[in-house]
Chains A and B, each alone.
Chain A
Amino acid sequence: MSNLAVLPILLPLLAGIFLAFIHKKTKLVRILSKAFAIINLLVAGVIFMQVRNNGNIVLEMGSWDAPFGIVLVADLLAMTLVFTTNIIAVASVFFAPQSLSEKEESFYFYTFFFMLISGVSGAFLTGDLFNLFVFFEVLLMASYGLIVLGNGKAQLRESIKYVLINLFSSMLFVTTIAFLYSVVGTVNMAQAAQRVHEVEQQGILTTIAILFFFVFATKAAVFPLYYWLPRPYISPNPVVSALFGALLTKVGVYSILRTFTLIFNQEVELTHTLFIYLAALTMIFGVVGALSTNNIKLIVAYNIIPAVGFMLMGIGIFTEVSITGTIYYLVHDMVIKGALFILVGATAYVAGTSDLRKMGGLIHHYPVLGWLMFLASLVLAGIPPFSGFIGKLLLLRGGLGEEEIFIVIIALISSLLILFSMIRIFISGYWGEKMDIPVPERKKKGKRMALPAAGLLTVSILLGVGAEWFFPTIEIIAQYMMDPELYIDSVLKE
């Protein structure tokens, strides 16, 4: 039974390897990869229901008992995120043939794609810090492959910076794990959480906590470590941008959420106050970046940053309500960022440019795309009754409950500015004078591009309108996160 936990990692891995052998038969590969993605989604759904009904699934690899071997822990938080990841994967697989050229597809796009999904799922599921590093590397290696796909001038230039930044933070991650190992004598998260209470010197543990935060914050693009993010995210193909925007920074946020609720919950005043200040700065600087540019892809890429700020704010406030808000926002943000990147990719494709000043009146040619874009902007900014609103409401309620008025005000202002930055795309791109760019084959493709985004938007609207269905589960997760004993007991079985 516990073997189920490995399936979300194993299935995409096998799919990726299998598709590498037949990479030249494009049509077959397309059908097969869609099938694999859907099967994977169903499997993740089944495991999610299992975990929801029967509690955590803990898989001890090679039958080594928990603190000695590697464990995979499928708890509700991990499975929720794995399930969301697979929703993004299905949408991306349907978007890929429209977005990529046939040559790019045959150059192992689907192999890298499934490896990325495998790495992301692994990072969510693992219960061992060193294994987290290994899965980070798995997903980063796949992302290096994806970012250079197409071999463009800008892509190669930006990919070098992306690889270097990630390599540096990975090496720091290994060093920090070594520090933690020397202090608590384990790399298993549950055992580390247990032993952290027994260590006499809290000072060194706080230092290690900050080092871990530095590593995860680099991956999650928290102020001031976000500078690397926007450009590498927009230089590759739109489908790759959608995958990156939806998944990669969220792995960083998940790692912060996991380690700082489970292991480093000792000196809350210091670390979590730091989080609140950094969250405020992240929101402000991200939004300023989004307002500063006329490139529609860059606007969406900059909008990743304030979203990370919102999630970090929830972790910083550190009450049950705010953690609920963070998890809700995390799921919402994965879905909506996927949809938005697909939509701006489609917009840039049909307009033939990604410069806002050169486009206008697209709504006359592409009404569906235009209204989807409008809807997506509202969802992102958190207009009720969409999903962004529920997450933000919970976060703000958490903030007010702890009397953190300052961060609440900044969050409200930055939400308004996010709406402004997004609606600018709609106003100057889709509104206005009719532009004469009716290229017929683009029109047909543009319509097909809207389909996966519409699917993701439906999920996102369901998350908002049907909040009553999802809310109890997410509340259970938050209660579980606030009580590390539950995690420790389920892994170490004492």
Chain B
Amino acid sequence: MEIIMAILAGILFTMGVYNLLQKQLLRIIIGTGLISHGAHLFILTMGELKTGAPPVLTEGVENYTDPLPQALILTSIVISFGVTSLLLVLAYRAAKINGTDNMEQLRGNDYE
């Protein structure tokens, strides 16, 4: 199970990096979303996956799921939601004010 999840996280990372390297702003944002999903899956995998085991350790329970990665993911998901929505708004404003969403034209060589 862990192997499958690790491969899935790897695929998400690959797709994310591929999209991150594009020129169009929206595709870059989709790339960041995919990477953060990959990272979240990866945390879950690192705590070892067990089906049907309770996430809390009480008396009489021998086999339990580690609850910490789930708590970490929850925090991380909220943060990546926030950043993604901010990035979308930012990209919208930037594209509107600069008149383009192509990263080639947003290079900024006018400081010198």
Contact = CB atoms under 8 A, between A and B. Distances in A.
B39 interface: yes
Contacts of B46: 178-179, 181-182
Contacts of B25: 160
B2 to A, nearest CB: 10
Contacts of A181: 43, 46-47, 68-69, 72
24 contacts: A133-B76, A148-B93, A151-B97, A153-B98, A156-B97, A159-B94, A160-B25, A163-B90, A164-B20, A167-B36, A167-B83, A171-B35, A171-B39, A174-B43, A174-B72, A175-B38, A175-B42, A178-B43, A178-B45, A178-B69, A181-B47, A182-B46, A231-B111, A295-B111
What 7 A-B pairs are tightest by C-beta distance, nearest first?
A156-B94, A182-B46, A178-B43, A178-B46, A171-B39, A174-B39, A175-B39
How many A residues touch the partner, as a band? Answer: 35 or more
A471 B101 CA distance: 52
A231 B82 CA distance: 25
Contacts of A298: 111
B106 A160 contact: yes
Contacts of B30: none
Contact of A144 (B36, B86, B111, B112): B86
Chain A: interface secondary structure? Answer: helix
Interface in A139-165: 141, 144, 148, 151, 153-154, 156-160, 163-164
Interface residues of B, number: 36
A469 interface: no
A156 B72 contact: no
B35 A148 contact: no
Given A154-B108, A175-B42, 11 more contacts: A141-B82, A144-B86, A159-B90, A160-B87, A160-B94, A164-B87, A171-B36, A171-B80, A174-B72, A178-B42, A294-B112
A170 B38 CA distance: 13
A136 B93 CA distance: 25
A160 B92 CA distance: 11
Interface in B1-59: 20, 25, 28, 32, 35-36, 38-40, 42-43, 45-47
B11 to A, nearest CB: 15
Contacts of A182: 46-47
A253 B46 CA distance: 28
A16 B101 CA distance: 33
A168 B32 contact: yes
A153 B97 contact: yes
Contacts of B87: 160, 163-164, 167
A463 B93 CA distance: 44
Interface in A195-236: 231, 234
Contacts of B90: 144, 148, 156, 159-160, 163
